[in-house]
Amino acid sequence: MVIALGGNALLPRGAGLDFSIQRESAAVAARALAPVVSRHQVVLTHGNGPQVGLLALQSEAYTEVPAYPLDVLVAESEGMIGYILETELDRVLDVPILTLLSRTVVRGDDPAFSDPTKPIGPVYLDEDTISSLTAKGWEFRADGDGFRRVVPSPEPVRIVQSGLIRRLSDMGILVLCAGGGGIPVVDDGRSTRGVEAVVDKDLASSLLAVELEAEMFVCLTDVAGVFDRWGHPDRALVSRTDISWLRDRRFASGSMGPKVEAACRFVEATGRPAVIGALEDVAAVIEGTAGTRISP
């Protein structure tokens, strides 16, 4: 199975980006995942929104050289988060673990390049800070009481190293890959080149699960699953559903929306189940006694 570890599962909402907080969050994730990895063949992916946003800020702050492009920052975040997760998983597992800096092919003419929607980095409340960053060419959209930077998020077309990931997984290695959606690249027919974007992690993970012919796609987040009437007093957890029911409803684009879309795409492409649920309930989510199970 492919397990996509959401950014909010890896770093609680509102938590700081201190290394100690990220390490402790990774330790919590490792303890929750250990029983599942011990029983199943797992490929693990993860988000990177807060981390890649922090790296972008750090890059902008050092003015002696031009700021690094987003594809390079995504690669940095893949390595950084992979290292943290590897370290904590090593403490609770007796399996070889490998972080792979993987590339995700996107189309150079994807309309997302002219309509940035992917939020990265912290929520800004100070108008002066927002104005100064807007002057640098950054774009912002409302997020709760503040604003977050948004960047292009083109559709994933292909995971470059999916064949290698499959071979490594078949050797019994726990592969961490497609971090933050993978390094965004376009394919010119002979090689690939990076582009200014951040691919949606859930959509890239779903595509990877299809390419690996996974038996199940698992989306882990910080809520119990998909809720009907989310935000209302009578909200209800949807324990089992199908694609048609989900397609008839609207989910928040910055949170549950991409997870639902990713799950539906996997089920449509393979006829196999996808599940969405909370990290701490991962074993029960996979068994079907918690979370939301989506079938054809």
Active-site residue set: 7-8, 118, 201, 259
Sorted by sequence, the CB contacts under 8 Å of residue 116 that are 6+ apart come out as 139, 150, 151, 152, 153
What beta strand segments (E) does 128-285 contain? 139-143, 146-151, 158-159, 174-176, 183-187, 192-194, 217-221, 227-228, 236-237, 240-242, 274-278
* 42 close to 1: Cβ distance less than 8 angstroms: yes
CA 94, 96, 99, 100 torsion-angle sign? negative
- Torsion, Cα 22 24 30 31, to 10 degrees, reads -160
Tokens of 288: 């079907």
